[in-house]
Amino acid sequence: MLPLVTMQKPMDAKKGLLLLYQMLLIRRFEEKAAEQYTKAKIRGFLHLYIGEEAVAVGVIQALTDEDNVLSTYREHGHALARGIDPDVIMAEMYGKVEGCSRGRGGSMHLFDASKKFYGGNAIVASHLPIAVGMALASKKQKKTNITCCFFGEGAAAEGEFHEAMNLAALWKVPVLFVCENNLYAMGTPIEYSHSVTELEKKGAAYGIEAAAVDGMDLLAVMQAANSAVEKVRISGKPYLLVCNTYRFRAHSMFDAELYRDKNEVEEWKKRDPIPQFEQFLLQQQWITDQEIAAFEDKIEAKIEKAVAFAEAGTWEPLNQLTKFVYSEK
């Protein structure tokens, strides 16, 4: 049995404030990103995570700095929750050299190897086998770290999801598969994508323990993630955690949202994870309304700083165009 290495601490005021800060930072950062997109400061695809913050924050708080994290093209939230500086994320979205991927990736390809944050992967489900391979390497190297892989419910229809689940279970490697079920694969509702819509049931086919959790409830996600991470770390085996959630914004900035009813979106917004968690903190008397307002001010300043950093960033000289295709000798 591997020794238990965990940073999971019981919820207290300090931790509660940190998690609220992370969720608010993600929310406001993305609102600013959308604004900068309309000003054409950010181009390409921009996929917002707004509404789903409790998933990234609730799961990543359960990991150690040694654990690997992989995400999708909707990964700003995961990158921020992992502790990547908003300055370098904004600069990356601008395409500046100071970005966390030197501007080569943009919004969909945020990387920070020092934080073991491995993207930012934009081919749906293609990072799942990579996650399994990282966990295989950990096992071969007798390390105690685990690999946490976020993906959407759309990915669960890909062959690579099934191959990765089978390989992870077959090889008994420590991967936490986190399925963020936001109900739409771009514009296709889950009932048109999956014959079985309770996605946690897919674990059984591979002998992988699985659970589903309300992804709009940070406390519930935390509890489920803490338990899942501990199981993966102790057993060395994979686990599937399905977080049922909802994105409040369009799939991308090009999406006219013809496929869903505005009332549906409004209904889900009543379950917004941020006010829910603020209520919890207020009830616990761990925070006051004034402190929340002060928090917002602090975050606004942080985001303004990130925008200024990105604006001041530099463009990669053209003579470096072909860098990073092969390793330099």
Nearest to residue 254, comparing CAs of 70, 98, 34? 34
196 binds other proteins (CB under 8 A): no
For residue 213, list its beta bridge partners. Answer: 243
Q: DSSP per residue over 80-115, as a string? A: HHTT--HHHHHHHHHT-TTSTTTTSS-TT---BGGG
236 binds other proteins (CB under 8 A): no
Q: Report, in Å, the least distance between residue 86 CB and other proteins.
A: 17
Q: Which is nearer to other proteins, 117 or 268 (CB)?
A: 117
DSSP state of 184: E
Site for other proteins in 166-195 (CB under 8 A): 166-167, 170
Q: Which is nearer to other proteins, 71 or 101 (CB)?
A: 101
Instruction: Among 164, 232, 241, 307, indicate the residue that binds other proteins (CB under 8 A).
Output: 164
Q: Which stretch binds other proteins (CB under 8 A): 6-14, 38-46, 103-111, 203-211?
A: 103-111
Instruction: Among 99, 152, 236, 238, indicate the residue that binds other proteins (CB under 8 A).
Output: 99
Q: Which stretch binds other proteins (CB under 8 A): 38-46, 47-55, 127-135, 183-191?
A: 127-135
Q: Which stretch binds other proteins (CB under 8 A): 2-10, 108-116, 182-190, 274-282?
A: 108-116
Token pair for 269 = 């917004």
Instruction: Among 25, 62, 100, 243, indicate the residue that binds other proteins (CB under 8 A).
Output: 100
Binding-site string for other proteins from residue 40 to residue 79, where x marks contact by CB under 8 A and - marks none: ----------------------------x-----------
153 binds other proteins (CB under 8 A): no
Distance CA 222, CA 59 (A): 6
118 binds other proteins (CB under 8 A): yes
Distance CA 281, CA 21 (A): 12
Q: DSSP per residue over 3-52, as a string? A: PP--------HHHHHHHHHHHHHHHHHHHHHHHHHHTTSS-S-----TT-
134 binds other proteins (CB under 8 A): yes
Question: What are the angstrom distances between the C-alpha of 192 and each of 30, 67, 122, 196, 277?
Answer: 29, 35, 22, 10, 32
Cβ contacts of residue 179 below 8 Å, gap of 6+? 151, 152, 153, 155, 156, 199, 240, 241, 242, 243
Residues in contact with other proteins by the rule CB under 8 A: 68, 99-105, 109, 111-113, 118-121, 123, 126-138, 140-141, 147, 159-160, 163-164, 166-167, 170, 323-327
